[in-house]
Chains A and B, each alone.
Chain A
Amino acid sequence: MSGRVLVGVKRVIDYAVKIRVKPDHTGVVTDGVKHSMNPFCEIAVEEAVKLKEKKLIKEVVAVSCGPQQVQETIRTALAMGADRGIHVEVSGKDYETLGPLQVSKILAALAKKEQADLIILGKQAIDDDCNQTGQMTAALLDWPQGTFASEVTLDADKLKVVREIDGGLETIKIKLPAVVTADLRLNTPRYATLPNIMKAKKKKIANVKPADLGVDVSSRLEVLKVDEPPQRQAGVKVETVDDLVGKLKEAGRI
C-alpha cells in the first residue's frame, strides 16, 4: 500500500463564460477565453486532501493532460493541498482530439508507474459532459469503481462509497486499488489560502509525454460539425382544452 492517490484535474472553459461556436463550425472559441479547473475536479482534489488530512493516505498527486496552460490548473490543485503534480504534455491537434479514451489510457499507465492505490476524478467535465474517463480507467486497470460518489469512507484497504443513482442512493464496498468519481454533494471545495498558494510555488510538477508512457493519443473519432442548439421557437396560445388536445394530436405528440 503506497498510500498514494492520483487526482485527475481538467482545464476547461470557466462555467460563467458565454460559449460561442467558431465561425467554421469545427468547435467552440477557446482563444482568449477564461479557463479554470473543472468544478467536479475541484471536488475530487478536496476529497483527496481531506483523506490526507485524516492521515488515511500519504500523498496526493495532481495530474493534468494538455498544453503548457494546464500547469495553472495543476498549481491550483497544489494550492488546495496536493503534494506534487504531473503534467502530461499534449498539444496542438492531439489536444483538440484528446478524449476520455486517451486520457484513461494515460491515467492507467501513470497509476501503474506511480503505484497509486486510489484514483479520484470528477464525475464528468463541464465542456464535454462525457462521464466516461473514470469508468474507462477502471476497466483498463481492471480495478473496482465507485462512480457518482456523494460519500467516501476509507478503512485500511476497503472503501465504502455511497453513490447517487437514478433510484436514490446506493452503498457499495470496494477493495483498493480503485477508481472513484466525485459527484456534486461529495464535499465543498476549500478556498486556497494565501500561504498555501505561496507554498505551492515550491511544489514540483513533473513533465511527461504520452509516448513515454507507451500511450497512443490519436483519436478514433472525428468531429464533423459543431452547431449552436436551435433557437427557442415561440409558443402558441389556445383558447380551450379541446383546442390543446387537437394541437397535440396534430403535432403527433399524443
Chain B
Amino acid sequence: MAAARALARGVLLGSYSICRSRSLIFNSVQKRGIAACIDPSIGLTDEQKEFQKVAFDFAANEMAPHMAEWDQKEIFPVEAMRKAAQLGFGGIYVNPDVGGSGLSRLDTSIIFEALSTGCVSTTAYISIHNMCAWMIDTFGNNEQREKFCPDLCSMQRFASYCLTEPGSGSDAASLLTSANLKGDHYILNGSKAFISGGGDTDVYVVMCRTGGKGPKGISCLVVEKGTPGLSFGKKEKKVGWNSQPTRAVIFEDCAVPVTNRLGAEGEGFSIAMKGLNGGRINIASCSLGAAHASVLLARDHMCVRKQFGETLSNSQFLQFRLAEMATKLVASRLLLRQAAVALQEGRPDAVSLCSMAKLFVTDECFSICNQALQIHGGYGYLKDYAVQQYVRDIRVHQILEGTNEVMRMIIARSLLSES
C-alpha cells in the first residue's frame, strides 16, 4: 500500500514535473520568462530560437539553482562550465575546424543573454574565455590555433585576458609590462591587475611591450600556467562576480617562447582592441539577461505583495515604473543586436556602435535591476532573493572592458574626426 501511495504521488507529479530540472528554486519557474512584449525570442530566426532555448534551459537547470551558492562561497564552477562547453558554449564564435561552434556575433549575444539569467558572473567569465579563444583563433598561426583552441573550446583548459595594469586602466596603451627578446624567448617583467580567472586559469593572453612607447610598441603573447616566473597575487574580495576569482598576474623574468606571439610585433594593441569589440557586445548581453530576469522578478513580486489592501500591481506609479523598465530593456536589446550585426558584417560603424551599445545597455540595465530591487522593498535587500545578486554582479559591467567614460571617448572621437 505504501508503495502504491508513493507511486501515485510519483505519477501525479509526472504531469507537472520538468524533465531536466534537478531542483526547483522558488523563483526558477518565473525565470522561464513568459511576458509577451519583452520576449527575447521576438524577431529571431528558427535556428536562433533553438540556440536561445538550449541556453535558457541550461541556465534554468544547471546554473540558476546554484547561483546564490557560487556567489556566497566564491566557487569557480568548473564542472558546470565544462557541461556548457560540451554543448558548444566554449568557443561560440571560434572556427569549427579547431573545435568552435562557428556562430555569428548575434547568435553569441543571444546565447549569453539567455545564460546570464542563470548566473551573470559565470556567464561573464565564459564570455571572457570565448574572447581569448577567438583572439588565438583569429590572429594565431595554425600551430598556435591547433595547440590552444581545441582545449579552450572544450574548456579542458581555461583562459584569461591580461591587459590592465595597476598603472594603466583606461590608458591601456601606456602599459609597462616589458617583453625583452633574448634568443628565441621573450623575458617578461611586470604585473597585470584585476585579471578574471587569474590563478585558476591555464592560458593567459598577455599584452606586453616589445617595442617603444605607445600602442605600436605592444605585442600579444600567450603565456601558459606553470611557466617559471609566472605567479599570482591574492584573490580579490569583490562586491559581485564572485563565481570567478580575480587576481593580479605577476611576471618576474618569465621566459615565453617567441612562437607564442600572436601576430607580428607591434600588433598586440590592435589585437586587444579587436577582441574587446566583441567582448563589449558580450558583457552588454550579460547585463541584458540580468535585466530581463529582474523585470520578471519585479513583475511577479508586484502581483503577490499586498499593501494598503491591494497588490502592488494596482499601484499606477509601479505600473508606470515597470513599463519604463520594460521599454528600456527592449530598447537596449535592439541596440545591442544591431551592434552585433554591424560587427559580424565588418561595417565601418561597428566599433562606435559596439561602444554605444556597451555604454547604453550596461547603464540602462543596471538602472533596471536597481529599480527591480527597489520594487521588492526590504526583501530586495536580502540575499535570499536573487535580484540583489543581479544588481551586484552587473554593476561592474559599467567599468570593465572599457569604462563607460572610455566608450564616450570612442564615440566622440568618431563624431569629431569627420569634421
Tell me whether A39 is interfacial, beta carbon within 8 Å. Answer: yes
Cβ A72 vs Cβ B4 within 8 A? no
A187 to chain B, nearest CB (A): 9
Can you list 16 contacts pairing A with B, beta carbon distance less than 8 Å? Answer: A16-B34, A33-B36, A34-B39, A71-B46, A76-B50, A76-B53, A126-B15, A168-B3, A168-B7, A189-B19, A191-B54, A194-B51, A194-B54, A194-B88, A197-B51, A198-B47
- B88 CB contact (under 8 Å) in A36, A164, A193: A193
Cβ A166 vs Cβ B15 within 8 A? no
Q: How distant is the Cα of A79 from the Cα of B49 in the complex, in angstroms?
A: 12
Tell me whether A43 is interfacial, beta carbon within 8 Å. Answer: yes
Interface of B: prevailing SS? helix
Cβ B92 vs Cβ A194 within 8 A? yes
Tell me whether A104 is interfacial, beta carbon within 8 Å. Answer: no
Q: How distant is the Cα of A33 from the Cα of B34 in the complex, in angstroms?
A: 8
Residues on A with C-beta less than 8 A from B20 are 188-189, 191
Q: How distant is the Cα of A76 from the Cα of B50 in the complex, in angstroms?
A: 7
Tell me whether B103 is interfacial, beta carbon within 8 Å. Answer: yes
Cβ A43 vs Cβ B47 within 8 A? no
Cβ B7 vs Cβ A166 within 8 A? yes
Tell me whether B43 is interfacial, beta carbon within 8 Å. Answer: no
Tell me whether B334 is interfacial, beta carbon within 8 Å. Answer: no
Contacts of A164-189 to chain B: CB distance below 8 A? 164, 166-168, 183-185, 188-189
Residues A75 and B34 in contact in the complex (CB < 8 Å), given A15-B18, A167-B4, A189-B20: no
Across the interface, name the chain A residue whose C-beta is closest to B13.
Answer: A184
Tell me whether B158 is interfacial, beta carbon within 8 Å. Answer: no
Contacts of B243-295 to chain A: CB distance below 8 A? none
Cβ A191 vs Cβ B58 within 8 A? yes
Cβ A75 vs Cβ B46 within 8 A? yes
B8-22 vs A, Cβ < 8 Å mask (1 yes, 0 no): 101101111111100
Residues on B with C-beta less than 8 A from A183 are 14
Q: How distant is the Cα of A183 from the Cα of B13 in the complex, in angstroms?
A: 11
Across the interface, name the chain B residue whose C-beta is closest to A42.
Answer: B19
Cβ A124 vs Cβ B15 within 8 A? yes
Cβ A192 vs Cβ B50 within 8 A? yes
- B32 CB contact (under 8 Å) in A16, A72, A164, A168: A16
Residues on B with C-beta less than 8 A from A124 are 15
A35 to chain B, nearest CB (A): 11
A193 to chain B, nearest CB (A): 5
Q: How distant is the Cα of A200 from the Cα of B53 in the complex, in angstroms?
A: 15
B32-61 vs A, Cβ < 8 Å mask (1 yes, 0 no): 101010010000001101110110011000
Cβ B7 vs Cβ A164 within 8 A? yes
Q: How distant is the Cα of A195 from the Cα of B17 in the complex, in angstroms?
A: 28
Residues on B with C-beta less than 8 A from A76 are 50, 53
Across the interface, name the chain A residue whose C-beta is closest to B96.
Answer: A195
Tell me whether A17 is interfacial, beta carbon within 8 Å. Answer: yes
Q: How distant is the Cα of A27 from the Cα of B226 in the complex, in angstroms?
A: 65
Residues on B with C-beta less than 8 A from A192 are 50, 53-54, 87
Q: How distant is the Cα of A77 from the Cα of B17 in the complex, in angstroms?
A: 20
B177 to chain A, nearest CB (A): 36
Count, chain B residues at interface, CB 8 A: 37
Count, chain A residues at interface, CB 8 A: 40
Q: How distant is the Cα of A178 from the Cα of B31 in the complex, in angstroms?
A: 40
Q: How distant is the Cα of A58 from the Cα of B373 in the complex, in angstroms?
A: 54
Tell me whether B323 is interfacial, beta carbon within 8 Å. Answer: no
Residues on A with C-beta less than 8 A from B18 are 15, 39
Contacts of A136-164 to chain B: CB distance below 8 A? 164
Q: How distant is the Cα of A19 from the Cα of B32 in the complex, in angstroms?
A: 15
Residues on A with C-beta less than 8 A from B88 are 193-195
Q: How distant is the Cα of A154 from the Cα of B18 in the complex, in angstroms?
A: 27
Q: How distant is the Cα of A207 from the Cα of B288 in the complex, in angstroms?
A: 39
Q: How distant is the Cα of A205 from the Cα of B13 in the complex, in angstroms?
A: 34
- B14 CB contact (under 8 Å) in A72, A184, A188, A193: A184
Residues on B with C-beta less than 8 A from A36 are 53
Residues on B with C-beta less than 8 A from A34 are 34, 39
Residues on B with C-beta less than 8 A from A71 are 46
- A194 CB contact (under 8 Å) in B3, B39, B89: B89
Tell me whether A201 is interfacial, beta carbon within 8 Å. Answer: yes
Cβ A16 vs Cβ B29 within 8 A? yes
Tell me whether A14 is interfacial, beta carbon within 8 Å. Answer: yes
A28 to chain B, nearest CB (A): 14
Residues A194 and B4 in contact in the complex (CB < 8 Å), given A43-B19, A184-B19: no
Residues on A with C-beta less than 8 A from B96 are 195
Tell me whether A129 is interfacial, beta carbon within 8 Å. Answer: yes
What are the 7 closest A-B residue pairs judged by CB atoms, nearest first?
A194-B88, A16-B32, A194-B101, A184-B14, A197-B50, A193-B87, A39-B19
Tell me whether B314 is interfacial, beta carbon within 8 Å. Answer: no
Besides A36-B53, A167-B3, A188-B19, 14 more A-B contacts (Cβ < 8 Å) are A16-B29, A33-B34, A34-B34, A40-B14, A168-B4, A184-B17, A191-B57, A191-B87, A192-B87, A193-B54, A194-B51, A195-B96, A197-B47, A197-B54
Residues A75 and B4 in contact in the complex (CB < 8 Å), given A183-B14, A193-B86, A194-B88: no
Most A CB atoms within 10 A — which of B11, B19, B58?
B19
A135 to chain B, nearest CB (A): 16
Contacts of B301-321 to chain A: CB distance below 8 A? none
B419 to chain A, nearest CB (A): 44
Tell me whether A23 is interfacial, beta carbon within 8 Å. Answer: no
Q: How distant is the Cα of A33 from the Cα of B35 in the complex, in angstroms?
A: 9
